[in-house]
């Protein structure tokens, strides 16, 4: 009798687990896809606070909230994704890819209304056969310069709109999205054998990983088996990123065929996404290997790589595109929940907290197409970039090339959306750190709210206040960054000695309303060497760079759609640092009492590092950039060391972040 009851119990639990794998409350990988340790929460579950909230509010008041009027030629009412004869390609969907999460995280009625027009049109546009999006234009249409009206049957812009619709569903659960995707993916399954991903433009072939990720996501919602067949075809037709990242191609200075900067960033997700269906180590290994190759041969201390269109080596005055930064972030945001590997979370914070804030203006009304790790002057003059025209480095709107103007908006909203995850053991994980609040289902579906109060990334302490509705047992996962040599966790003041496994600590206990967890992450200086043995200085998640006084001037120029800003240096930049300073640890840190709502500029920089450098008169400007890094500069003759101030890279506009070393 007892044995029979036990058998029934086992049978019951097997059937339950076969039905839903992993986290019980949210959409997560289902068999045969590999179980994922972390799961993305619905949009609206995570609320930014402090400076993270300020970043979103600035986007709302800046370009993201107003691109339809500021860039009306492309994102206005004539866009193909609103049924017009204007641009019918990627730029409308790019904007929505940031606008939708922004609107729903901020719960902003006006922004939601703006986004809804595009969503409704996209849903209504679906044909009987499953196709959706702008229809091919009639033979004789009026050409509008500055837009991409053609290429409407390209698979690529749909990949972006699928990401938009997925996020819209994660905010609203509008079931029409599931229906649209199912019918569209059946259409893809039928058409792809003949019209391959790259049949209209090569972008579809390079960026198939974005398509693939949504196919798996839909599988987790509906369990439709045809999606797994479609996934195989999409992977097959996508550029072989696994081979490229595993091999030596990236290790050549100017690889052929050309590797485009944004594709390299976007492609990083493909092997990891496909790994879900084929969990073989080679896919994960490829991405790590590719990132090492990028670092070794094209890398900068800021985490980006020299690729001013095509990969272009590691001289710190080569450019890195804003699209590359936000797409690299999105690739890492895809990798973290699948792999649970904190390497990607650390890297994601590095891009968000260093590269991202400085590539747009404080009011989020202008952006740079390229930024430089050593950037001493921002003017509309040719530099040594692959593509060198149209103000590649100035702060403008359509300057450089207009992709970034539309694609930049996803940066902060998606970063915030990935700060917290649900976990496979029905708990919650704090994965990226910053001031925020989360409300999510844990344990058997009970709600918990956790408030994260912190000045991270500028300070070492993070405080979590836990509010279950009543006493409740659930696991709370905390990331210990790989750069952190010493961490400490307390619960209500009592030091915890939990095991750290793969840089994750799990506090599994009964939580009472008002419990407080404090996490202390020591931030020690780290020194690294780059092009011509130049010195990079990091501390915690932040890179430090020379503080240079700035003079901003707004320029109106014939042939440009809009005004743009140039920035000139008002203090010297040609400093070297001696080995002695590094060895003696001659770095004095000064942290402000208060972190301002926008910490990302010279005035508000929350941290200053006082150290010593000496000027090298022969290190001069060349073609608007700092000349080649002097190898082994000498501290001789009348050269003297003087105090220099370093501030977080993200607070600089002009900077030296890779110093010559004596
Ligand atoms: Zn771009």
In DSSP notation, 228-254 reads: HHHHHHHHHHS--HHHHHHSSGGGSSS
CA 141 / ligand 1 centre spacing (Å) = 27
13 band by pLDDT with thresholds 50, 70 and 90: very low
Q: Is the pLDDT of residue 81 over 50?
A: yes
CA 348 / ligand 1 centre spacing (Å) = 18
CA 255 / ligand 1 centre spacing (Å) = 20
CA 148 / ligand 1 centre spacing (Å) = 15
Of 612, 648, 659, the residue nearest 538 (C-alpha): 648
Greater model confidence, 638 or 270: 270
The 10s digit of each residue's pLDDT in 582-608 is 999 999 999 999 999 999 999 999 999
Of 158, 156, 169, the residue nearest 115 (C-alpha): 169
Helices (H), 30-76: 50-61, 63-70, 72-75
Q: Left if phi > 0, otherwise alpha if psi is -120 to 50, otherwise beta: which for 83? A: left
Q: What's the burial of 358, exposed, middle or buried (CB within 10 Å: 0-12/13-18/19+)?
A: buried
Mean pLDDT, rounded, for 231-242: 98
The 10s digit of each residue's pLDDT in 276-297 is 999 999 999 999 999 999 999 9
Q: Angle of helix 91-106 relative to helix 63-70, nearest 10 degrees?
A: 140
d(CA 343, CA 336): 8
CA 94 / ligand 1 centre spacing (Å) = 10
The 10s digit of each residue's pLDDT in 393-428 is 999 999 999 999 999 999 999 999 999 999 999 999
**Residue 610 phi/psi, 5° resolution?**
-95, 125
CB 408 within 8 A of CB 34: no
Mean pLDDT, rounded, for 221-250: 97
Structure tokens at 355: 């590269």
CA 387 / ligand 1 centre spacing (Å) = 12
d(CA 659, CA 529): 9
Q: Is the pLDDT of residue 7 over 80?
A: no
CA 301 / ligand 1 centre spacing (Å) = 21
Of 210, 338, 197, 188, the residue nearest 275 (C-alpha): 338
CA 544 / ligand 1 centre spacing (Å) = 25
CA 403 / ligand 1 centre spacing (Å) = 4
| 457 CB neighbour count, 10 Å cutoff | 27
Q: What integer pLDDT is reported at residue 600 of this predicted model?
A: 98
The 10s digit of each residue's pLDDT in 333-367 is 999 999 999 999 999 999 999 999 999 999 999 99
- Region of poorest pLDDT, from 99-108, 137-146, 222-231: 137-146
Of 101, 662, 178, the residue nearest 415 (C-alpha): 101
d(CA 381, CA 534): 26
CA 407 / ligand 1 centre spacing (Å) = 7
Q: What integer pLDDT is reported at residue 19 of this predicted model?
A: 67
Of 332, 335, 357, the residue nearest 347 (C-alpha): 332
- Region of poorest pLDDT, from 16-20, 303-307, 419-423, 603-607: 16-20
CA 495 / ligand 1 centre spacing (Å) = 47
CA 13 / ligand 1 centre spacing (Å) = 50
Greater model confidence, 98 or 143: 98
CA 405 / ligand 1 centre spacing (Å) = 7
Q: Is the pLDDT of residue 39 over 60?
A: yes
CA 32 / ligand 1 centre spacing (Å) = 36
Q: Is the pLDDT of residue 115 over 70?
A: yes
| 568 CB neighbour count, 10 Å cutoff | 15
CA 311 / ligand 1 centre spacing (Å) = 15
CA 279 / ligand 1 centre spacing (Å) = 32
CA 325 / ligand 1 centre spacing (Å) = 9
Q: Is the pLDDT of residue 510 over 50?
A: yes
CA 390 / ligand 1 centre spacing (Å) = 13
CA 368 / ligand 1 centre spacing (Å) = 9
Of 42, 6, 2, the residue nearest 438 (C-alpha): 42
Tell me the DSSP string of 486-528: -EEEEETTEEP-PPEETTEEEEEEEE-TTEEEEEEE---EEEE
Q: What integer pLDDT is reported at residue 27 of this predicted model?
A: 98
d(CA 297, CA 291): 10
CA 401 / ligand 1 centre spacing (Å) = 7
CA 428 / ligand 1 centre spacing (Å) = 34
CA 320 / ligand 1 centre spacing (Å) = 10
The 10s digit of each residue's pLDDT in 383-394 is 999 988 889 999
Mean pLDDT, rounded, for 435-464: 98
The 10s digit of each residue's pLDDT in 535-568 is 999 999 999 999 999 999 999 999 999 999 999 9
CA 166 / ligand 1 centre spacing (Å) = 22
Q: Is the pLDDT of residue 1 over 80?
A: no
Q: Is the pLDDT of residue 652 over 90?
A: yes
CA 482 / ligand 1 centre spacing (Å) = 30
CA 402 / ligand 1 centre spacing (Å) = 7
CA 261 / ligand 1 centre spacing (Å) = 9
CA 502 / ligand 1 centre spacing (Å) = 35
Q: Is the pLDDT of residue 10 over 60?
A: no
How far does Cα 175 stand from its chain's mean position? 28
Per-chain mean pLDDT for the chain:
95
* CB neighbour burial string for 102-140, b if at least 16 within 10 angstroms, e if fewer: bbbbbebeebbebbeebbebbbebbeeebbbbbeeeeee
Distances in whole angstroms, Cα of residue 283 to Cα of each of 242, 288, 297, 570, 626: 6, 9, 21, 48, 39
CA 200 / ligand 1 centre spacing (Å) = 20
CA 119 / ligand 1 centre spacing (Å) = 23
């Amino acid at each position: 009798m007892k044995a029979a009851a036990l058998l029934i119990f086992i049978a019951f639990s097997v059937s339950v687990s076969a039905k839903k794998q992993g986290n019980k409350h949210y959409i997560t990988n289902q068999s045969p896809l590999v179980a994922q340790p972390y799961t993305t929460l619905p949009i609206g579950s995570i609320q930014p606070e402090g400076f993270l909230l300020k970043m979103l509010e600035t986007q709302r008041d800046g370009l993201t909230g107003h691109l339809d009027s500021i860039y009306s030629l492309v994102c206005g009412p004539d866009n193909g994704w609103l049924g017009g004869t204007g641009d019918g390609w990627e730029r409308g969907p790019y904007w929505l890819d940031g606008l939708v999460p922004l609107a729903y995280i901020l719960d902003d009625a006006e922004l939601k209304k703006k986004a809804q027009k595009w969503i409704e049109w996209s849903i209504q546009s679906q044909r009987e056969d499953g196709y959706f999006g702008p229809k091919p234009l009639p033979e004789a249409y009026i050409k509008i310069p500055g837009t991409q009206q053609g290429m409407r049957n390209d698979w690529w812009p749909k990949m972006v709109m699928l990401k938009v619709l997925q996020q819209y569903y994660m905010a609203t659960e509008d079931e029409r999205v599931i229906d649209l995707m199912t019918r569209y993916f059946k259409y893809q399954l039928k058409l792809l054998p003949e019209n391959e991903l790259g049949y209209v433009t090569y972008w579809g072939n390079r960026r198939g990983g974005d398509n693939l990720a949504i196919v798996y996501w839909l599988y987790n919602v509906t369990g439709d088996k045809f999606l797994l067949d479609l996934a195989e075809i999409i992977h097959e037709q996508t550029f072989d990123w696994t081979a490229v990242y595993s091999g030596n191609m990236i290790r050549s200075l100017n690889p052929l065929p050309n590797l485009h900067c944004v594709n390299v960033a976007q492609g990083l997700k493909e092997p990891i996404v496909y790994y879900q269906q084929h969990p073989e180590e080679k896919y994960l290994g490829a991405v790590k290997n590719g990132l090492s190759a990028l670092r070794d041969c094209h890398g900068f201390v800021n985490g980006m790589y020299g690729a001013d269109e095509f990969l272009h080596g590691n001289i710190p005055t080569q450019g890195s595109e804003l699209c590359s930064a936000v797409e690299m972030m999105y690739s890492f945001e895809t990798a973290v929940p699948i792999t649970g590997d904190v390497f990607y979370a650390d890297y994601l914070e590095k891009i968000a907290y260093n590269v991202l804030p400085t590539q747009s203006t404080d009011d989020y009304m202008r952006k740079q197409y390229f930024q430089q790790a050593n950037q001493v002057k921002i003017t509309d003059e040719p530099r040594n970039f692959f593509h060198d025209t149209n103000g590649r480095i100035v702060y403008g709107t359509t300057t450089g090339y207009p992709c970034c103007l539309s694609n930049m908006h996803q940066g902060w909203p998606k970063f915030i959306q990935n700060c917290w995850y649900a976990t496979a053991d029905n708990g919650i994980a704090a994965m990226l750190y910053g001031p925020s609040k989360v409300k999510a289902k844990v344990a058997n579906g009970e709600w918990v709210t956790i408030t994260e109060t912190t000045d991270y990334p500028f300070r070492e302490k993070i405080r979590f206040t836990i509010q279950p509705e009543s006493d409740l047992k659930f696991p709370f996962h905390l990331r210990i960054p790989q750069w952190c040599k010493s961490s400490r966790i307390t619960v209500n003041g009592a030091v915890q000695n939990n095991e750290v496994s793969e840089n994750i600590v799990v506090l599994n206990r009964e939580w009472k309303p008002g419990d407080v967890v404090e996490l202390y992450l020591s931030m020690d200086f780290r020194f690294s060497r780059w092009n011509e043995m130049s010195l990079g200085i990091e501390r915690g998640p932040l890179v430090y760079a020379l503080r240079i006084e700035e003079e901003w001037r707004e320029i109106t120029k014939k042939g440009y759609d809009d005004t743009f800003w140039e920035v000139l240096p008002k203090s010297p930049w040609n400093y070297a640092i001696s080995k002695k300073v590094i060895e003696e640890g001659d770095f004095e840190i000064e942290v402000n009492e208060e972190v301002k709502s926008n910490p990302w500029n010279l005035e508000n920089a929350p941290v200053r590092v006082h150290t010593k450098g000496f000027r090298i008169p022969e290190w001069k400007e060349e073609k608007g950039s700092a000349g080649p890094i002097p190898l082994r500069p000498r501290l001789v003759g009348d050269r003297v060391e003087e105090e220099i101030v370093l501030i977080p890279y993200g607070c600089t506009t002009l900077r030296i972040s890779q110093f010559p070393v004596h």
